[in-house]
């Protein structure tokens, strides 16, 4: 039973995850559980709802996210971070704040763009869905929390630009 967060409407974003107490940076919030793990080839056979709540695990596979974690919304200036299935505070979070993460942490699809309604001042309104489209300083900040396939790809790209 998760008591520290709740799911409720988050305006134009649909449902969102909200803090029920304050969290200090680094503090564990909750575990975002995975349901079915599917090959990316099989994504078209999933239900519309399952397709809306996918998490890329590597270049070939994705996991269907279960509630409440599937309702974690993206923000260009997130107040939470994810490392694997563990979600923890990245900035101070007050009771009642929506908990948000940056979906680009594990996104690798260069050129994929989505409209963003996160409302943060740095939000361009449309987000390029790739870790590697983040400003370099942000990539460095996020890197240790990114999944291993992103870290490998990061090293590969850095090696390429260095040569
Ligand atoms: Zn945004």
pLDDT tens-digit series, residues 41-94: 999 999 998 998 998 888 899 999 999 999 999 999 999 999 989 999 999 999
Ligand 1 centroid distance, CA of 123 (Å): 4
Identify the CA nearest to 35 among candidates 27, 45, 46: 46
Name beta bridge partners: 109: none
Contact of 79 with 17, CB cutoff 8 Å: no
* Residue for token pair 């994504």: 43
Ligand 1 centroid distance, CA of 121 (Å): 8
Please, is 130 exposed, middle or buried when counting C-beta atoms within 10 Å of its C-beta (0-12, 13-18, 19+)? middle
Ligand 1 centroid distance, CA of 162 (Å): 31
Taking domain 5-162, whether its CATH number is 3.20.20.10 is answered by no
pTM above 0.85, yes or no: yes
Segments in the chain forming alpha helices (H): 48-52, 136-142, 148-162
Helix (H/G/I), strand (E/B), else coil: 149: helix
């Amino acid at each position: 039973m998760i008591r520290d967060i709740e799911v409720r409407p988050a305006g134009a974003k649909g449902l969102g995850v909200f803090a029920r107490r304050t969290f200090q940076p680094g503090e564990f919030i909750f575990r975002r559980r995975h349901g079915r793990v599917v090959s990316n080839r099989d994504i078209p056979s999933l239900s519309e709802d399952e397709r809306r709540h996918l998490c890329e695990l590597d270049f070939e596979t994705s996991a269907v996210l279960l509630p409440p974690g599937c309702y974690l919304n993206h923000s260009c200036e997130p107040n939470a971070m994810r490392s694997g299935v563990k979600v923890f505070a990245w900035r101070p979070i007050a009771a009642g704040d929506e908990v948000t993460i940056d979906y680009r942490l594990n996104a690798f699809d260069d050129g994929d763009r989505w409209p963003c309604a996160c409302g943060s001042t740095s939000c361009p309104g449309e987000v390029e869905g790739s870790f590697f489209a983040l400003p370099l300083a942000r990539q460095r900040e996020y890197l240790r929390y990114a999944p291993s396939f992103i870290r490998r790809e990061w090293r590969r790209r850095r090696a390429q630009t260095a040569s």
